[in-house]
Structure 1
Amino acid sequence: MSLAAEPSAFELQSGATKKELKNLQTTNKNLENLAIDYSARIQVLEQSKDGLQSVLDGQALRIKSLLDTVGRQETKIQALQSSLDYQNETIKQQQATIENLQKSIGQNAALIEQIDSKLKDLAKLNEDILGISSAMDSGAKGGSGAPGLSSTSSETKPSPSKIDSPKKTDKQQASGKTNSADRSFKELSNKEILDEARKLYREKNLAESKKRYEWLVKNNYKAASSLYMIGEIEYQRSKFQEAIGYYKKSASLDDKASYMPILLWHTAWAFRYSKDMDNYNKFLDSLIRLYPESEQGKKAKDLRKSKTKG
């Protein structure tokens, strides 16, 4: 027993006992097991890492896809916003256009009312003018009105054949110059004859002026204004019934002429000088209603006011 317990020469030489060697072997074994365990754990971690990397890569791809989708949506939103801004601007412009149209409609409605009122006034004037003939017949003193003018109220614009040259005056019959005058007029243009008629009227040569205006009426050249001027000549010669007839015929040809206020004014006074106060007042009222801002319209208004006060 004592021999077995004694250490061998090898053990003595290495300096380690069997127990220590066994412990070393056990430790080495444990270390190997730990190394194997750590190696396994490292593999597991590496596998986990690879899995996590795959997950991360997948998430990165999803995030990129979402970002791309968000970018496209933002682009669409910007396009929609631009379209909305354009639509809003268009709506504003349409609203402004509608407001302008509404204003125009209001202005046009007012204008239409004015036109309707003017048409009513013109219709009344036409009635007044058409009633002149009957007033002439009732107020005439031994005369038949202007030569060549019909007294019917339904008469329309005359043709040249319906407007005959006025009858010769006594002076013309005595001189026998009518035919020679016609021949001399034929050598002139209508414009030249009109210029002569105006010049003679300014010079107070009413008879010669009248002959030229009668020629122009006969030839249907500026018939309305020529008839008006013949009326003015007869008015100045105190031939008021004849003047009224010519005024009536002139107005029936052109009731919008610039001289209409004077025509109505002189017509009114022609009736007054003929002692026809009803027609005198009627024409003053027509003048006030149709041409209130004209010089004659203002005079007529003053006359009516003074009569009312009186």
Structure 2
Amino acid sequence: MRFFSHKVALFFGAASLLFAAEVSVFEAGNLRNPSPYGLTQNEKLLLEKTQEVEKLGRELAGMRNDFSSLKEQMEGVRSVLDGTNTRVGRSDGDMRALEARLVSLEETFAKTSEQILLLQTNLQEAKNAQDTNNERLRIVLGEMSSLIDSINNNYASKSTLATLAERVGELEGAKKTAPLPSGLEAKPGAELMQEALSFFSANNLDEAWARYDILVKKNYMPARSNYFLGEIAYKKQQWKTAIKHYKISIDLYDKADYIPRLLYHTAISFDKIGEPANAAPFYRALKSNYPESKEAQASPDR
């Protein structure tokens, strides 16, 4: 600023001298002439000062232009910086959001990995348990197959079951004290089945036996009829006869609703005749195939 003030002072001093100078009558001493001549010492000095002031004015104008240009450039730089700061701020926010997302994804991946590992472990445990159950079932089925063969060999073969059933019926019928109703054979199977069930429910076992026996001979629902003949023999504590009819029933149809009770009473019947080794497979089959049944829950572990 001191420099600028000094230049201005020189300018005004030079102007004062200019007005105080003497003007020549002719062109001599004309300071406006591009090539002035005949100048006095004062005029020369004034010309120099004037030229210096003009030069300084031009430099000052240039400096102002440079200042304006620099100012515009500074404004541009400031705008660029402001925009850059805004973008940097947004970038920082985006970066923080990405970092938070990455952390969330890493946590999710870790949890998912743990769940997958847990599922794999559970699956392997389930597979091992299934393999164990399959092996146990295979053993039980093998034992039951051997046991059925033993029953066929020791109690009755399939070729003689019908004859034995008829003979047992005759022998047990001879012990009855009350005469059986006549004409039962002529009744339809459905009517006989209904009567037999009514007598069985009323614990009139002889009347129920007579009708189930006829139903077996008629081959009317033979699996269910043999099951009830086995139940009647079981209630009368005729254990071997019960085992025989249970065997016939399960050979004919092994998906009936009464199978859990049939297996349970077969096992008990074997226990009653002193053959616990033959009873054990039936208890195991009951627990393996019908674990929720009351018979399975009442069965001993063998």
TM-score range, shorter chain: 0.5 to 0.7
Q: Is the 8 A contact 1:197 1:209 kept in 2?
A: yes
CA distance 1:188–1:130, change in 2 (3 Å) = same
Shift of 1:111: 3.4
Q: Is the 8 A contact 2:196 2:209 kept in 1?
A: no
Give the corresponding residue for 1:282: 277
Give the corresponding residue for 1:127: 146
Determine which of 162, 172, 189 is the counterpart of 1:147. 162
Shift of 1:83: 5.1
Give the corresponding residue for 2:197: 195
Q: Deviations over 1:10-40 (max 9, x none)?
A: xxxxxxxxxxxx7765664454244223212
Determine which of 265, 268, 281 is the counterpart of 1:265. 268
Q: Distance in 1 between matches of 2:192 and 2:244?
A: 27
Give the corresponding residue for 1:36: 54
Shift of 1:133: 1.0
Q: Distance in 1 between matches of 2:192 and 2:80?
A: 101
CA distance 1:105–1:187, change in 2 (3 Å) = closer
Give the corresponding residue for 2:84: 66
Unaligned segments of structure 2, at least 5 residues: 1-39, 288-295
Structure 1 position 214 matched with structure 2 position 217: no
Shift of 1:132: 0.6
CA distance 1:31–1:187, change in 2 (3 Å) = closer
Q: Distance in 2 between matches of 1:68 and 1:165?
A: 107
Range with greater deviation from structure 2 (116-125 or 257-266)? 116-125
Give the corresponding residue for 2:230: 231
Give the corresponding residue for 1:55: 73
Q: Is the 8 A contact 1:230 1:246 kept in 2?
A: yes
Q: Is the 8 A contact 2:209 2:229 kept in 1?
A: yes
Shift of 1:54: 4.4
Give the corresponding residue for 1:246: 245
Shift of 1:43: 2.0
Q: Deviations over 1:264-300 (max 9, x none)?
A: 1203423x3xxxxxxx1421432564467754526xx
AA aligned opposite 1:134: N
Q: Deviations over 1:90-116 (max 9, x none)?
A: 424532541442243034224303421
Q: Distance in 1 between matches of 2:109 and 2:248?
A: 58
CA distance 1:207–1:61, change in 2 (3 Å) = same
Q: Distance in 2 between matches of 1:40 and 1:81?
A: 59
Q: Distance in 1 between matches of 2:72 and 2:237?
A: 124
Q: Which has the higher contact order (CA 8 A, sep 6+)?
A: 1
AA aligned opposite 1:285: A
Shift of 1:134: 0.3
Shift of 1:88: 3.4
Q: Deviations over 1:102-159 (max 9, x none)?
A: 2430342243034212342233223212321102159xxxxx975357xxxxxxxxxx
Identity of aligned residues (%): 17
Unaligned segments of structure 1, at least 5 residues: 1-21, 139-143, 150-162, 273-279, 302-310
Structure 1 position 297 matched with structure 2 position 296: no
Task: Report the aligned-residue RMSD.
Answer: 4.3
Where 1:286 maps in the other structure, the secondary structure is: helix
Q: Is the 8 A contact 1:262 1:296 kept in 2?
A: no
Q: Distance in 2 between matches of 1:39 and 1:32?
A: 10
AA aligned opposite 2:254: D
Q: Distance in 1 between matches of 2:189 and 2:250?
A: 28
Give the corresponding residue for 1:3: none
